Structure 1
Amino acid sequence: MPQQIYINLPVKDLARARAFYSALGFTLNPQFSNDDAICMVVSDTIHLMLLTEPFFAGFTGKPIADATKTTEVLLCLSRDSRAAVDELVAKARAAGGAVPRPPQDYGFMYGHGFEDPDGHIWELSFMDMSAAPPH
């Protein structure tokens, strides 16, 4: 079985978070979802766990960062093309997300991102390895 990653993020409104990530094309896994948390499937190996802030707090003794004011983590997903990057950013914007900065073209890599309604920033990238500089 391949290794999987479960990204756990605190959210203020579970229903709003579910609607936002559903609009991006992520699907609900009801097996790991209840009134305190939902699991959104990003891919076969990546799962997004959206936890209400009180439930999230039960897993840490540290204060929960307000992602609208501070950066707690930078998340990045690869896409198969520049068009796929821009398509997901457009879906995020249409679902109520923000676009914190314009796209960046680094020659061999194209990056663009969005911010979800809770302030978590997602970077999306497409890498053209044929254009990558040598090591």
Structure 2
Amino acid sequence: MKHCLFLIPLYLLFTSTNGLAQTVIYTTADWPVVHPEPGVEVQLLENADTLSQSLFPPLSASPAKAEVQVRLRMQQPDWHTQEARLTRAYQALLDARTTGITKMPAVVFDDHFVVYGTTDVALAQQKLDTWREQYP
């Protein structure tokens, strides 16, 4: 059953709904997305190393003590929330890397066209349309 649940997100990731092109905004906290349009995915790239370090304080050099520290941390009430945040951070970095993003912010249309320098989808679409007119 886990395999089926994994394939559904992959299917949704690589297909577009109702024939519309998929639009993804890659950004950081420095360039917030104020009001994302419906159907637009926002990937907030966070510093995964910093998140990981904040999740666990410095661990003991003793493997047995470090294991106890980790198990205690995993029993904290905020563990699942922080773990999910770290997972999202690494997934967003992987997605950006796979897509070929080299600068922030970036708007990606249909996994093919990238417009850098804005989180505004309408402005990015306008820039893309202008580019397409110049280079048909």
TM over 0.5: no
Larger helix percent? 2
More strand by share: 1
User: Could you state the TM-score of these two structures normalised by the residue count of structure 1?
Assistant: 0.26
Larger Rg: 2
Does 1 or 2 have the higher relative contact order (CA < 8 Å, sep 6+)? Answer: 2
